[in-house]
Structure 1
């Protein structure tokens, strides 16, 4: 893994994610970490009055770079040997530009922080981390604000055993498993076999076949709350990472219902790795 991209807004959650990325770089022998600040310049609309003061674009960029340099200075004592820490600042909306930045920097992984919020905050405010999860094809690790880096040795892969071949990005999944070489626990949460159907045993066998060589251990847990069931299992197993593959939802479902990936990102105390299908 050569490059890790760390979006930052200079918050404590962002600093915590950057420290996590440094630990990850040491484990994975990463060559470079890119600290990326996407700032948005407010552009006045003609004939529409506004009380928001306009900021000079050069001053905004200078302030962004100053923040990045300060961050580099504070993180440098933790920097692993032979790892480069590089600043990037651009006048963009983070979610809209994150995929392009990943391609431009040839990033293998995005690591960013999140602060747990209430259900109302999840519904109305959202999070940059959640927006990044939705807008990039690059694997993303979301680091909770209270999480500290521990070497990734044990991974819980939350799977639903539905259309495994169609919805499992097997190439990037295997690439990450080859990188981490973890003890792999595949977890399915259900209640009273509500989602069990005639294809479930076959789908389970398909996933076992796809993961051949990684020695997956399969677990079937009964719980009325899928998200809580995943978190409880991961904490009981002392997992270092929860792995999910977010499914694409319909337009109206996205408006009125937060996905399980989003709920996990907000509430898990264990870092969450999302790989898009």
Structure 2
């Protein structure tokens, strides 16, 4: 794992995610951590009145770089040995451009913060993080506001056992598992076997085959709420990370809707790793 990108808006949530990323970089022997700030230049529309003051683009960029430099100085004492901390500032919408940034920087991982505070905080901070997950093919670790780094030794992989071979991103998944070498718990949440089909045993076998060498332990739990079932199990097992594969169509699709009651990312203090299918 050579490069981690840490998008920041200079909030305490972002600082916390950056501190987590530096701890993670030490465990992963990462050589580069990139602090990335995407600022938006508001361009006035002709003949449309606005109360928003027009900002000089150079002043906006200068303020962004100043914030990044301050953040770099404050994080400096936490840097792992033999790792470089770099800064990037660009006039972009973050979600729309994050995939391009990851490819350009040859990133292996994105680490971002999220808050489970007020509804306003969720809209301002959380929505950007969720949108990044949706718009990048790079794995993303979402760090809750109260999470502190501890080495990743135990992972709960929440899975719906649907089209396992077609939807499991085997290469990035194994790349991360090879780095962490965790105790791996594969979890399926269902209620009264409503999602159990004749294909489920076969799909379970296929996933077990894909994860050969990682000694997965399989758990099938009855729970009326998927999100609460995952968080309860992860907390009981003292997991260091929850892993999900957000599918375009599937059981976990609703996790990333902006409902306060159904966002897994907002309702766990355990960091969440999302790897796209």
TM-score, with length taken from structure 1: 0.94
Question: Structure 1, residues 176-222: CA drift from partner, whole Å, max 9, x if none?
Answer: 11111111000000111111111111110110011000000000111
The answer for the alignment partner of 1:47 in structure 2 is 47
Question: Structure 1, residues 146-205: CA drift from partner, whole Å, max 9, x if none?
Answer: 000000000000001111111111111111111111110000001111111111111101
**CA separation of 1:107/1:10 partners in 2, compared to 1, >3 Å: closer, same or farther?**
same
The answer for the alignment partner of 2:57 in structure 1 is 57
Q: Which whole-Å CA distance do the structure 2 matches of 1:11 and 1:249 have between them?
A: 33
The answer for the alignment partner of 1:156 in structure 2 is 156
**CA separation of 1:98/1:125 partners in 2, compared to 1, >3 Å: closer, same or farther?**
closer
The answer for the alignment partner of 2:234 in structure 1 is 234
The Cα of 1:122 is off from its aligned counterpart by 5.7
Question: Matched residue of 1:25: which SS?
Answer: helix
The answer for the alignment partner of 1:219 in structure 2 is 219
The answer for the alignment partner of 1:10 in structure 2 is 10
**CA separation of 1:158/1:97 partners in 2, compared to 1, >3 Å: closer, same or farther?**
same
The Cα of 1:123 is off from its aligned counterpart by 7.8
The Cα of 1:268 is off from its aligned counterpart by 1.2
Q: Which whole-Å CA distance do the structure 1 matches of 2:210 and 2:257 have between them?
A: 31
Q: Which runs of 5+ in 2 are unaligned?
A: none
Q: Which whole-Å CA distance do the structure 1 matches of 2:220 and 2:190 have between them?
A: 8
Task: Note the 1:205-216 alignment, pairs <5 A.
Answer: 205-216=205-216
Q: Which whole-Å CA distance do the structure 2 matches of 1:36 and 1:187 have between them?
A: 34
Aligned-CA RMSD value: 2.1
Residue 135, structure 1, aligned to residue 135, structure 2: yes
The answer for the alignment partner of 1:95 in structure 2 is 95
Q: Which whole-Å CA distance do the structure 2 matches of 1:162 and 1:199 have between them?
A: 8
Q: Which whole-Å CA distance do the structure 1 matches of 2:124 and 2:3 have between them?
A: 33
Task: Note the 1:142-221 alignment, pairs <5 A.
Answer: 142-221=142-221
The Cα of 1:259 is off from its aligned counterpart by 8.3
TM-score, with length taken from structure 2: 0.94
Q: Which whole-Å CA distance do the structure 2 matches of 1:127 and 1:101 have between them?
A: 19
Moved over 3 A (4+): 117-126, 256-260
Q: Kindly indicate whether the alpha-carbon contact (under 8 Å) linking 2:115 and 2:126 is maintained by their aligned counterparts in 1.
A: no
The Cα of 1:118 is off from its aligned counterpart by 5.5
Q: Which whole-Å CA distance do the structure 2 matches of 1:249 and 1:218 have between them?
A: 23
Q: Kindly indicate whether the alpha-carbon contact (under 8 Å) linking 2:98 and 2:136 is maintained by their aligned counterparts in 1.
A: yes
Q: Which moved more, 1:126-135 or 1:85-94?
A: 126-135
Question: Matched residue of 2:21: which SS?
Answer: helix
Q: Which runs of 5+ in 1 are unaligned?
A: none
Question: Matched residue of 1:127: which SS?
Answer: helix
Q: Which whole-Å CA distance do the structure 2 matches of 1:125 and 1:16 have between them?
A: 13
The Cα of 1:134 is off from its aligned counterpart by 0.5
Task: Note the 1:23-38 alignment, pairs <5 A.
Answer: 23-38=23-38
Question: Structure 1, residues 202-256: CA drift from partner, whole Å, max 9, x if none?
Answer: 1101100110000000001110000000000000000000000001149xx88x9
Q: Kindly indicate whether the alpha-carbon contact (under 8 Å) linking 2:152 and 2:180 is maintained by their aligned counterparts in 1.
A: yes
Q: Which whole-Å CA distance do the structure 2 matches of 1:6 and 1:257 have between them?
A: 23
